[in-house]
Amino acid sequence: MNSDLNQDRGDYVLGLDAGGTRTRAVLATHDGSVAGEGTSGPGNALTVAEPGLTDHLAEAVARAVPERLRGRVAAVAGGFAGASGTADEPGRLRARSALTAALRRLGFPPVPVAVWSDIEVAFASAPGHPADGLALVAGTGAVAARISGRGCTAVADGDGWLLGDDGSGFWIGRAAVRAALRAADGRGAPTALTVSVGRALGVPEDVLPYEGTAWTRSRREAYRRHVLPAVMAEEPIRLARLAPLVAEAARDMDPPAEAILVEAVGQLTETVRALQPHPGERVVATGGLLGPDGPLTVLLTARLDALGLTLDWVADGSAGAVALARLGI
Amino acid sequence: MNSDLNQDRGDYVLGLDAGGTRTRAVLATHDGSVAGEGTSGPGNALTVAEPGLTDHLAEAVARAVPERLRGRVAAVAGGFAGASGTADEPGRLRARSALTAALRRLGFPPVPVAVWSDIEVAFASAPGHPADGLALVAGTGAVAARISGRGCTAVADGDGWLLGDDGSGFWIGRAAVRAALRAADGRGAPTALTVSVGRALGVPEDVLPYEGTAWTRSRREAYRRHVLPAVMAEEPIRLARLAPLVAEAARDMDPPAEAILVEAVGQLTETVRALQPHPGERVVATGGLLGPDGPLTVLLTARLDALGLTLDWVADGSAGAVALARLGI
């Protein structure tokens, strides 16, 4: 790289992490120090239509980059949910088109724009900004990827809530309701999890199976009659909001809750193993289930350790997007 | 019963089996011989709105009962999907209202009408028209019920495709696609089931894993790229249509297909066991998975036999509806 040329083209870079619930933009100096930040609405390139996607990107970028610095940005990189796959796939095309339009709208001069997937920028966010290894996302959904030369070369799971995302927040939330319904119809026994799931779904207090009271057939049937329509009235993916109840019950040693988390970790381990990891490889994880206080962090670290793998966690992909933008200078 | 009185009120009875895909009406003489039959569209009392439900019931009844016999029907009984629970629940109320309106529209004089659930009439269809025992439905969905004095007194599962219906046709179809996706991403290995599932979902022939050809990464990824949107483009419940592919593969000893059927039978057995069966009890089954050539019939018969239970199968509930109508005379 030629520093005179950099000076000509500008001394800042812009990185974006555009996820299913939030878009984050980070302005950084050419040595990587953060100079501005902005967030906005959803940025999934497959599920958010292009006008809305452009709006969200423009909003986040406008907040991160003051007008006077817009001519001094040398490179832009964005990681998008829904933009895995090759450069000609619909998500990547839409992401590139929306990002270019957003920059133009904000008065940016022409600038190199790189489009990556959310997984690629998350992986690049790990300490040292690695180029090769494994990435694991465990939030509402679950997917693992092999990253080679900064790009994703293989994927395991990420099959969505209906068919896969095994071990994800959705999966854990659904397992919690399943355990509760099984307790109610006699295929299991009620526990604290049955109470917390029922309460979260609006089951009346006098129907819940509190310790020391008999859970009679009529109360069990009333429980089922409340839970089933409460779940069906919402989008299936909303079951993911029940995952924290499982984590809480497991902390109190609730047996079904502990079993659900152990099974979730087994599923995520299997997903990572499908990518044929080499001992000594690094797994960069992101998503709420695997954060510093995440309900699966301790269990999964131990499982991966037994395979000779180390687990790093990153909060989001914006640092990686900045690092990848710097590569574009 | 007073046979003079019967003669006054008419010498026929009418039974209906109103299911999720079809409504069937059967006219019978007072000794139970079939005198007329008619079928029509869906009759689920919860999911079909009242005007449509009334139309379907009227159509089936009009085909089963010639106009000249409509004054000679002494009692009517209908078993409705979506009409489990107590008499004041929405499905039961709508079923009664629609059936009464259909009879009035066809010129029937006032006649006693009894509303039952589809499970209750299926159970009553077994040889000898029993009043007590266990019923098991295993078709697109799966539910078991305890029947006491002809009425349902407890239910296990039937929780719908999102949360339960374990071991059902939907469950088997989803398991087939899951196995196929796991083969494609490295969590499993391809088999004949991977081929048949892929073909049913429109995967191009040159991407399918035929024996003797290497299933390269690019072909495996192309397989996933076809399967995922093909499934997501349809209603989830449509996955049930893939269940016959699992049965076919299992007949050819495909290991994942066999494992899926064994697990389905385990789930259905657990559902029956939740109702605390007594040795010697009869389980009356209905639904395509458990018919004379059903893919689960042999396996489930063996599992229930080990619990001291016998399995009877009925094709539908119309014979039971006739038997229950005769009780109403």
User: Exposed/middle/buried for B43, CB within 10 Å: 0-12, 13-18, 19+?
Assistant: buried
Contacts of B179 in chain A (CB under 8 A): none
Q: What is the pLDDT of residue B6?
A: 44
Contacts of B289 (CB under 8 A, 6+ apart): B138, B139, B167, B168, B169, B172, B243, B264, B295, B296, B297
Query: Which of A88, A162, A217, A232 to probe the B interface (max B CBs under 10 A)?
Result: A162
pLDDT in tens, chain A (329 residues): 444 344 455 799 999 999 888 999 999 998 889 999 999 999 999 888 999 999 999 999 999 999 999 999 999 999 998 887 677 788 899 999 999 999 999 999 999 999 999 999 999 999 999 999 999 999 989 999 999 999 999 999 999 899 999 999 999 999 999 999 999 998 999 999 999 999 999 999 999 998 778 899 889 989 998 999 899 899 999 999 999 999 999 999 999 999 999 999 999 999 999 999 999 999 999 998 999 889 999 999 999 999 999 999 999 999 999 999 998 77
How far does B52 lie from chain A, in Å, by closest CA? Answer: 23
Of B163, B224, B271, the CB nearest to A231: B163
pLDDT digits (tens, 9 = 90+) for B303-324: 999 999 999 999 989 999 999 9
Q: What is the pLDDT of residue B205?
A: 94
Structure tokens at A257: 């809750």
Mark yes or no for CB contact B156/A185 under 8 Å: yes
Mark yes or no for CB contact B228/A185 under 8 Å: no
* Spatial CA neighbour of A119 closest among A158, A90, A71: A158
Structure tokens at A29: 């100096």
Q: What is the pLDDT of residue B82?
A: 85
Residue owning tokens 């026929």: B12
Contacts of A178 in chain B (CB under 8 A): 159, 163-164
Asked if B29 and B65 count as a contact pair (C-beta separation under 8 A), the reply is no
Angle between helices B217-232 and B169-185 (to 10 degrees): 150
Apex B74 CA angle, B73 and B75, nearest 5: 100
Mark yes or no for CB contact A181/B164 under 8 Å: yes
Mark yes or no for CB contact A156/B185 under 8 Å: yes
Q: Does residue B236 sit at the A interface (CB-CB below 8 Å)?
A: yes
CATH superfamily of A130-313: ATPase, nucleotide binding domain (3.30.420.40)
Contacts of B164 in chain A (CB under 8 A): 178, 181
**Strand, coil or helix: what is A226?**
helix
Angle between helices A217-232 and A192-200 (to 10 degrees): 50
Q: Does residue A164 sit at the B interface (CB-CB below 8 Å)?
A: yes
Q: What is the pLDDT of residue B9?
A: 56
Q: What is the pLDDT of residue B30?
A: 81
Question: Which pTM was predicted?
Answer: 0.87
- b (16+ CB within 10 A) / e for B203-241: beeebbbeeeeebeeebbbbbbebbbeebeeeebbebbe
pLDDT(B7) > 70 = no
Q: What is the pLDDT of residue B3?
A: 42
Say which range, B126-130, B208-212, B219-223, B294-298, has the weakest mean pLDDT.
B208-212
Structure tokens at A214: 């008999």
With cut-offs at 50, 70 and 90, classify the pLDDT of residue B289.
Answer: very high
Contacts of A154 in chain B (CB under 8 A): 185-186, 217, 221
Angle between helices A297-306 and A255-273 (to 10 degrees): 40
A23-29/A34-40 β-pairing:
antiparallel
Contacts of B298 (CB under 8 A, 6+ apart): none
Q: What is the pLDDT of residue A88?
A: 74
Half-sphere exposure of B178 (CA within 13 A, CB side): 19
| CA-based torsion, B251, B252, B253, B255: positive or negative | negative
Q: Does residue A163 sit at the B interface (CB-CB below 8 Å)?
A: yes
CA B300 to chain centre: 16
**Strand, coil or helix: what is B158?**
coil
How far does A140 lie from chain B, in Å, by closest CA? Answer: 16
Structure tokens at A71: 């001519």
- Chain A stretch 177-206, residues whose beta carbon is closer than 8 A to a beta carbon of chain B: 177-178, 181-182, 185-187
Domain locations in chain A as residue ranges: 3-125+316-327, 130-313
Of A155, A187, A221, the CB nearest to B185: A155
Q: Does residue B231 sit at the A interface (CB-CB below 8 Å)?
A: yes
CA A328 to chain centre: 25
Pinpoint the alpha helices (H) of A84-168: 90-105, 118-124, 160-163
pLDDT digits (tens, 9 = 90+) for B76-89: 999 998 887 677 78
What's the complex ipTM?
A: 0.84
The chain A residue lying nearest B227, using CA atoms, is: A159
CB contacts < 8 A (A, B): 81
- b (16+ CB within 10 A) / e for B142-178: bbbbbbeebebebbbbbbbbbbbbbbbbbbbbbbbbb
* Spatial CA neighbour of A277 closest among A316, A320, A306: A306
Asked if B79 and B71 count as a contact pair (C-beta separation under 8 A), the reply is no
Of B155, B160, B178, the CB nearest to A185: B155
Contacts of A309 (CB under 8 A, 6+ apart): A134, A272, A277, A279, A280, A281, A282, A283
Q: Does residue B238 sit at the A interface (CB-CB below 8 Å)?
A: no
Structure tokens at B311: 């399995």
Q: What is the pLDDT of residue A5?
A: 41
Mark yes or no for CB contact B163/A177 under 8 Å: yes
Task: Please determine whether the domains at B3-125+316-327 and B131-190+234-313 fall in the same fold group of CATH.
Answer: yes
Q: Does residue B164 sit at the A interface (CB-CB below 8 Å)?
A: yes
Q: Does residue B234 sit at the A interface (CB-CB below 8 Å)?
A: no
Domain A3-125+316-327, what architecture?
A: 2-Layer Sandwich (3.30)
Count the Cβ atoms, other than its own, within 10 Å of residue B85.
Answer: 15
- The CATH fold of domain B131-190+234-313: Nucleotidyltransferase; domain 5 (3.30.420)
pLDDT(B326) > 90 = yes
